[in-house]
Amino acid sequence: MSTSQHLLHIFSFALFFFMSRAAEKPHGLILPIRKNSTTLQYYTEVDMGTPLSNANVVIDLGGELLWFDCDGYNSSSYHLLRCNSSKCKAATTYECTDCNYPYSSDCSKNFCGVYPYNPLGNGFIEAGLALGEDIMSVSSTDGISYLLSVEARHFPFTCRSTRLGSILGSELSGGTKGMIGLSRARSALSSQLASAFKLPHKFALCLPNSSATGPGDIFIGGGPYYMLPYGDVSKELMTTPLILNPVNNSPTRVGESNVHSDEYFIGVKSIHVDRKHVSFKESLLSINKKGIGGTKLSTLAPYTILQTSIYKALVKDFVKAAASRKIKRVTSVAPFGACFSSKTIASSQTGPAVPVIHLQLQSKSMYFRIYGANSMVEVEKDVLCLGFVDGGSNPTTSVVLGGHQLENYLLEFDLASSKLGFSTSLLLRNTTCSHYRLF
Ligand SMILES: *[C@@H]1O[C@H](CO)[C@@H](O)[C@H](O)[C@H]1NC(C)=O
Ligand SMILES: *[C@@H]1O[C@H](CO)[C@@H](O)[C@H](O)[C@H]1NC(C)=O
Ligand SMILES: *[C@@H]1O[C@H](CO)[C@@H](O)[C@H](O)[C@H]1NC(C)=O
Ligand SMILES: *[C@@H]1O[C@H](CO)[C@@H](O)[C@H](O)[C@H]1NC(C)=O
Ligand SMILES: *[C@@H]1O[C@H](CO)[C@@H](O)[C@H](O)[C@H]1NC(C)=O
């Protein structure tokens, strides 16, 4: 072998080594987010098993486990988790189950059984469904493009064949067959992928609207976050503490004490409409000893849900502020409480030019601003409604910030520092969550 061949050899080996290393330790990971315009659910696609098969699954920001209908899923790399494994113990509710259901008839009594919950159907999928693990293939990213796919070898999930009877619920959007959780739980997508690839324990969401032309993003492992054509927004995020609700009021944890919530709460201090303070009992905005109250973020609520007194006060002040902008009110269309003639509303870079809603966070100058594109919903031709709904007088959580209000913002959940980073409305940057991408 000549020296130059030798060098080439070393070089290609180094390149191979570098590339395989790059594949092992990606800079970050990316998954697409799409929205179904009928159900208003956000979903992503996961690629699992050997051979890889894909499934669209609804995104639940507060959810714990990946579960899907595995009818026809026949993966040679799938295996069941034992009852005594650490992954089984990381699943919050588990039991030792008899059979490695749904796969074979081996009933040796020490498989891990979990209780996957479907919040859309307000019910458990099934009790003691076996927890298994398999390869998950996910695209790496540099914050701009979809790059090489990498494999997490032991991704935990549970599944059930619909051949055993229908369970998965018609509540899921057509074309999807399960759910994926992004909560603080150790079994959630973000924790699993961050630890599989030793990435910083953070993820970001950019929720697209339903008429959007391209998908939004789930980024795992941190920025940069290129919102083209504008650029990287990771350096201009404002931050607010993520609050740990000390009580887990989820149906999966009923009766258990000393278990905190896995959902993401933030500290909204007050609400303003066109800079005027909306008046209601502000103690509703804090979380009490029973875990009641406060503000959380949700991808399953299509519109923000407010405790009745907050809802009524907001609608009243919004209607008043709209009237002073000469916006004409029209008959309300359920479930909304205030609708307006869009002929009397100008348009702006941030959607319909309606009163701006400010959620004041930890300090007097820290706001999450909700402009017309996020506050208003077009219910019929020429009618725009204030897109907030009444959550009744005794909800568990006083303010549930829903999807419509979070679209086209970049939201970064940093679990290591327990902070939520948020961009301004991307519309102000002349881009959206369905921004250009390089492939
Ligand atoms: C599953 O795959 C194995 C080979 O990997 C094959 O022998 C078996 O017939 C398949 N089962 C089904 C139900 O497709
Ligand atoms: C779990 O149980 C299996 C079979 O019962 C056993 O072989 C294994 O050593 C146990 N593992 C731990 C971590 O206890
Ligand atoms: C959205 O969900 C509806 C209702 O489940 C379904 O009929 C429709 O096909 C879905 N749309 C897309 C684009 O998947
Ligand atoms: C949704 O986003 C697209 C850009 O992707 C924009 O053109 C459209 O107006 C938006 N629709 C609504 C209802 O905000
Ligand atoms: C966005 O576009 C508007 C008008 O189309 C322009 O005035 C503004 O400077 C642009 N903003 C950015 C951040 O590019």
The CATH superfamily assigned to 238-422 is Acid Proteases (2.40.70.10)
Boundaries of every domain in the chain: 26-223, 238-422
Average pLDDT of the chain to the nearest whole number: 88
For the CA of 85, the closest atom of ligand 2 is 13
Tell the CATH superfamily of the 26-223 domain.
Acid Proteases (2.40.70.10)
Ligand nearest the Cα of residue 42 is 3
pLDDT score recorded for residue 14? 43
Q: Contact 298/396 with Cβ under 8 angstroms?
A: no
pLDDT band at 24 (very low <50, low <70, confident <90, very high): low
Our answer on whether the CB atom of 162 is closer than 6 Å to any ligand 1 atom is no
pLDDT value at position 395?
96
Residue 249 has a pLDDT of 83
What does each C-alpha distance from 298 to 102, 160, 212, 401 come to in angstroms?
31, 26, 20, 6
Does 108 or 36 have the greater pLDDT score?
Answer: 36
- Whether the Cβ atoms of residue 87 and residue 155 lie closer than 8 Å to each other: no
Which has the closest alpha carbon to 310: 357, 266, 278?
A: 278
Element (DSSP H or E) covering residue 22: helix 3-24
> At 341, which amino acid appears?
S
Residue of 210, 211, 376 to test ligand 4 pocket, by largest number of atoms within 8 Å of CB? 211
- Residue 7's pLDDT band, with cuts at 50, 70 and 90, is very low
Rounded distance from Cα 175 to ligand 4 centre (Å): 22
Q: How confident is the model at residue 61 (pLDDT cuts 50, 70, 90)?
A: very high
What are 390's two structure tokens?
A: 């009444």
| pLDDT for 150 | 97
Q: Is the CB of 210 under 6 A from ligand 3?
A: no
Q: Is the CB of 123 within 6 Å of ligand 3?
A: no
pLDDT of the residue at 111 = 79
Q: Is the pLDDT of residue 2 over 90?
A: no
26-223 with 238-422: one CATH topology?
yes
pLDDT by residue (tens digit) across 378-410? Answer: 999 999 999 999 999 999 999 999 999 999 999
Q: State the Cα torsion 66-68-74-80 to the nearest 10°.
A: 40
Per-residue pLDDT band at 160 (split at 50, 70, 90): confident
Mean pLDDT calculated for residue range 319-325: 98
Question: What's the maximum distance between 2 C-alpha atoms anywhere in the chain?
Answer: 85
Please give the structure tokens belonging to residue 130: 């076996």
Asked if residue 100 has pLDDT above 70, the reply is no
DSSP conformation class of 273: E
Token pair 């300090």 in the structure block, residue:
363
Ligand 2 pocket member 424 (CB < 6 A)? no
> Six-digit token pair at 74?
């026949």
Distance of alpha carbon 240 from alpha carbon 317, whole angstroms: 26
The reported pLDDT for the residue numbered 242 is: 98
Indicate the pLDDT class of residue 273, thresholds 50, 70 and 90: very high
Helices (H) and strands (E) in the chain, counts: 6, 34
The per-residue pLDDT for 42 is: 97
CA dihedral angle for residue 240, residue 418, residue 183, residue 174, rounded to 10 degrees: 30
Atom of ligand 2 at shortest distance to CA of 108? 5
Residue 282 clears pLDDT 90, i.e. is over it? yes
pLDDT surpassing 90 at residue 125:
no
Out of 34, 35, 39, 42, mutate this one to test ligand 3's pocket (max ligand atoms within 8 Å of CB): namely 39
Tell me the sheet residues that pair with 339: 330, 385
Using CA atoms, how far apart are residues 388 and 400, in angstroms rounded to an integer? Answer: 10
Residue holding tokens 């980024």? 219
What pLDDT score does 5 carry? 44
Dihedral sign, Cα of residue 168, residue 170, residue 172, residue 174: positive
pLDDT tier, 80 (very low <50, low <70, confident <90, very high otherwise): confident
Closest listed ligand to the CA of 87: 2
Q: Which residue has the tokens 């493009």?
A: 145
pTM of the entire predicted model: 0.91
